[in-house]
Structure 1
Amino acid sequence: MTQVSSHAAGRSWLVYALATVALWGVWGAIAGISAERGFPETLVYCIWALTMIPPALIVLAMSGWRLDRDARSIFFGFTIGLLGAGGQLVLFYAVTRGPPYLIFPVISLSPIITITLSLLILKERTGKLGVLGIVLALMALPMFDLSLSGEVGGLGWAPLALLIMLCWGMQAFFMKLANNTMSAESIFFYMMLSGLLLAPVAYAMTDFTQPINYGTDGPWLAAGIQMLNAIGALTLVFAFRYGKAIVVAPLSNAGAPLVTAMLSLLILGAVPGPLKIVGLVLALIASVLLAIEPEAADEPEPQNDGDPA
């Protein structure tokens, strides 16, 4: 295994985290276009799984095709991938059972799971600015999607939303844990394989009785949009490689909606409601605090688990 040098760790985590924020922020602003133009979300998932292939192969090639193939690496890799992709599939079903304006605020709190596990198990700590940034980020997240109007339509969605929150919170934790013993390139490769494994499930969930747009603004447009999602997932893996999970998770989860909201305001002229404005302000302050936190980078630890097979 390669050892992470203190120089490499430095502020690299911040570069990768901000790249994730930018990529996911732009992706969030345009992600709904595919469904609006008649290409269902379940097929968008299939396209997303395919867009994971190019970046996975590129970074693996850049690392000399060194894929960690020991049992622990395979377990971690598929656990991370299946938690993320499985959560996405549950989300498709959840939005048919309940209102998105209640489901997404619950899901957005997934960093609570990541932070709790990282504090208890990885013993991660941060400074006062980091603590304040984490608290503000967690306060801001639900406000991006929270709406106090509309009918709830039953509570069958609640366990599903909590399950997705748990899956994505644990995924981020395992992503950090795995980075201690395997390469980021291998982690992302297994994430790609996991996404492909669940693609047939998403395909089977598609309602083919409804008209589907197979034109250039259907699957091809979806591919372009989802490539932002895929590359953002890759940079997130590297952010966890060099940074503390208790900082990377809230920064990426709060920063991306902030960029999305700002782009929606600038491009679409969409004026956010009062709650979203408060969330934007809190997210902005939190992002700045987390970015300048001097104790956000991981301290390098020797990794003597042997060379990858």
Structure 2
Amino acid sequence: MSAAAATGRAWLFYAITTVVLWGIWGAFSSVSPERGFPETLVYCVWALTMIPPALIVLAQARWRLDLNPRAIFYGMAVGLLGAGGQLVLFYTVTRGPAYLIFPIISLSPIVTIALSFFLLGERTGKLGMLGILLALMALPTFDFIPQSGDGAQGSTWFLLALIVMACWGIQAFFMKSANNFMSGESIFFYMMLAGLALAPIAYAMTDFSRPVNMGLDGPLLAAGIQLLNALGALTLVFAFRYGKAIVVAPLSNAGAPLVTAVIALIVAGVVPNSLKLAGLALALCASVLLAIEPDAADETADDETEGQP
């Protein structure tokens, strides 16, 4: 996969692939829990689905794994921030209202954009800035579902939601930074290791006092759905390699819900409410602007990754 051209619109190919994979995954991600397979076990299955693509791309790179301390630190940081954020999210949704938690988490690109702007010196043109603004405006609308009562237990859920948002925002920043001195195959391999390392915690969080569906529509169905998630994470690594984080982060986070909404509309006949329709319109405009932004490609990708597998 790393043999793809590092110039031109390679970043866009990988970013769009991520959007499609995560969009499809998002449309069906709730199926397994709805059929009695707990989300904590879904995490364990997801961690296992990371193994095949990690080994395949590493084999394509002739098993050249970056083993220097800096690469190991960055690779594991990317993996632990992503997987750790997911585990914190499992607990967060038991403490507060999901319709407020997810809009907060969806703003993680703000963290990525700020870090990339100030620490990496990334800039983009007027179209890119407008696209980023529209994407950030659209993100909270996707998960905002007004409900009577919030079921919140104190303010703990708010702090936890901020932690998840920070984890995923910083993860994207580390992913971009790591691509400057190590191969994408190595980054994803360490992401796989980190996911597996936290799987026992997710397993321990499972409430086995309730029935667990171990049939074909349980772990096997979850594996098929979560493989889309794993492949999307892989293509995201390469999107960050060839594109600017300041553009890739909002595009992937706004585009995926757009695809999910379209699938839901086609498959389930679900018509979004007016707020989500507005969010979808904003996301569509943002995606188009970010896709055509001429300054979105990382012009340093060739030099910084030269000699990498």
TM-score range, shorter chain: over 0.9
Aligned residue type for 1:179: N
Q: Which residue of 1 aligns with 2:194?
A: 194
- 2:163 corresponds to which letter in structure 1? L
Q: How far does the alpha carbon of each residue in 1:63-105 deviate from its partner, in whole angstroms, 9 at most, with x for none?
A: 1100000000000000000000000000000010011111000
Q: Which residue in the other structure is 1:262 paired with? A: 262
Within 1, Cα distance between the matches of 2:6 and 2:306?
20
- Percent of paired sites with the same residue: 70
Q: Which residue of 1 aligns with 2:126?
A: 128
The two structures, once aligned, show a CA RMSD in angstroms of 1.7
Q: In the alignment, what sits opposite 1:111?
A: 109
Cα distance between partner residues in 1 of 2:285 and 2:299: 25
Separation of aligned partners in 2, 1:24 and 1:147: 21
Match of 2:143 in 1: 145
Q: How does 1:1-309 map to 2 (within 5 A)?
A: 8-152=6-150, 153=152, 154-300=154-300, 302-303=303-304
Q: Is the 8 A contact 1:173 1:245 kept in 2?
A: yes
CA contact (8 A) 1:30 1:225 kept: yes
Letter in 2 for 1:244: K
Query: Secondary structure of the residue that 1:192 maps to in structure 2?
Result: helix
Which digits, 9 at most, give the CA deviation of each residue in 1:111-162, with x for residues without a partner? Answer: 0000000000000000100000000000000000112332122422100000
TM-superposed CA distance for 1:215, in Å, is 0.4
Question: Do the aligned partners of 1:60 and 1:185 also contact (CA within 8 Å) in 2?
Answer: yes
**C-alpha separation in 2, matches of 1:141 and 1:186:** 30
**Runs of 4+ deviating beyond 6 Å:** 304-308
Judging changes above 3 Å, is the alpha-carbon distance between structure 1 residues 16 and 124 closer, same or farther for their aligned structure 2 residues? same
Q: Contact 1:134–1:250 (CA<8 Å) still a contact in 2? A: yes
What number of residue pairs does the alignment pair up? 305
Pick closer, same or farther for the CA change 1:114–1:103 going to 2, 3 Å.
same
Query: Which sections of structure 2, spanning at least 5 residues, go unmatched?
Result: none
* Equivalent residues of 1:87, 1:164 under 8 A apart: yes
Partner amino acid, structure 2, of 1:229: N
Query: Could you list the runs of 5+ residues in structure 1 that have no partner in the other structure?
Result: none
Separation (CA, whole Å) in 2 of partners of 1:82 and 1:149: 33
Seen in structure 2, the aligned counterparts of structure 1 residues 86 and 182 have a Cα distance that, compared at 3 Å, is same
Query: Partners of 1:123 and 1:223 in 2: how far apart?
Result: 39
* TM-score after normalising by structure 1: 0.96
